[in-house]
Structure 1
Amino acid sequence: MSRLLLIEGERWVEQARNGNQEAFGKLTEAYYSRVWRFLLKWVKNRDDAEELAQETFLAAWRALPGYRAGSKFSTWLLGIALNLARNHHNRTVKKRSRDVELDESMYLETPGGHDDEPDRQFERKQAMQALEKAIGRLPDDMREVVTMVKLEGMLLDEVASVLGIPAGTVKSRLSRAKSKLLEDVAPYL
């Protein structure tokens, strides 16, 4: 997000806190795709992610008077989204797979942008599928941290804020998750 948009966003947040629906609409436009992508990684279903994204902004509008101006709006918003995703997960009682879907194009292309031989592509695809399954088997607390840090690109402090835990705990969970994932995917490396 650009510096100008961050400044505008802060202004929109303040206006929205004072009941300005138009300003909240601008915040929704600015953050909707990020929230939707974040939720899609949790619920693995586009329609559910869409519904939860809408619920996230509705809940944010209702909770906006309690938003602390000192915290980052996007982190606060993703915290709401995460809580809704957890509730959704609990309601569906793990009916769907917990597998995480990774972006296949990241793993099938070589660093130079040229495809390797078909055998090498197949090996990479198998490794990616093994990693997706291994992430899905992680305990919820570790899977959340891996998804936010490694797949969403969030900073440790942001993850700590969203989860309401110390940054050291995030770092510890991430370290344990990496060790476990390495064990699970070692045969494919």
Structure 2
Amino acid sequence: MHPTLSIRRFAASGLAIAAALALAACSSPVKLDEQVPVETRSTTPSGSGNGSAGGAPASQVGSVDLSAQDPGAKFGRVILFDFDAYVVKDEFRPLVEGYAKALNADRKKNIVIEGHTDDRGSREYNLALGQRRSEAVVRALTLLGVQPNQAEPVSYGKERPVDPAQNEAAWAKNRRAELRSK
């Protein structure tokens, strides 16, 4: 076997290993393989329906109004993040589960998840980080059974701070994702 051929094979296999390691290093810290409980509901009507005054049968399925059963009223609307991170922390699980339950109850309802950052870093970096934060919340919702088209991720980066002060307390408030009804 020619020595140059052996070196080429070694270099090619080394490049393949390096590419695999590079892809593994880019993996998301969001727990994508985590098993989450999903509530299964029957879509068949139970009991007899009420007739309407016009003689047409009324729908067996009642509509759910998120303004009446707003999960934000009970759980809040803001998820806070650590510095330079986009992992949804366990302390915000009740908020995510509350929204998932409400969205699963009414598949026509949609929300927008707005990703925000503090003002440290470039505009481009913060827009990308805000997007990763909003997408992490969408991923958490979809793992709980929410349809991906019900939750729209957007990023405002550092453009819309809730506290413009230049200190750690203000920065901590600004590192957030806000859930809003559409």
Q: TM-score range by the shorter chain?
A: under 0.3
More strand by share: 2
Q: TM-score, normalised by structure 1?
A: 0.24
- If asked which structure has higher relative contact order (CA below 8 Å, sep 6+), I would say 2
Higher alpha-carbon Rg = 2
